[in-house]
């Protein structure tokens, strides 16, 4: 069963000046087949768009977790993942 994870950035107004979403997700070492960032800021997926993207890529289990930037500019996850599908 393919697993997907949406990381929702709750405070996306504080994006670091040089931010690479793929690099940020890779540094989290997530245990899933595909992950994507979502945020309310322009240029990011919102949660329904990210969920649809996961479905079209064949994910059978999709969950969402909150993330925020720490003082060093890295994303840290907090809270429990919320199952959206599967």
The whole-model pTM stands at 0.89
Q: What is the pLDDT of residues 7-64, one digit of tens each?
A: 999 887 777 777 788 888 888 989 899 999 998 888 889 999 999 999 999 999 999 9
What pLDDT is recorded for position 70?
84
pLDDT at 51: 95
Domain that holds residue 52: 3-85
Please tell me the total number of residues recorded for the chain in this structure. 86
Spatial separation of the C-alpha atoms in residues 16 and 62, rounded to whole Å:
27
Q: Give the burial class of 51: count Cβ atoms within 10 A of its Cβ; 0-12 exposed, 13-18 middle, 19 or more buried.
A: buried
Number of domains in the chain: 1
């Amino acid at each position: 069963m393919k697993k997907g994870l949406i990381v929702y950035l709750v405070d996306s107004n504080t994006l670091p000046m040089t931010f690479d979403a793929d690099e940020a997700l890779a540094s989290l070492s997530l245990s899933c087949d595909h992950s994507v960032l979502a945020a309310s800021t322009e240029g990011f997926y919102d949660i329904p768009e990210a969920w649809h993207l996961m479905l079209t890529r064949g994910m059978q289990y999709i969950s969402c977790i909150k993330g925020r930037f720490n003082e060093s500019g890295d994303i840290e996850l907090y809270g429990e993942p919320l199952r959206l599908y599967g």
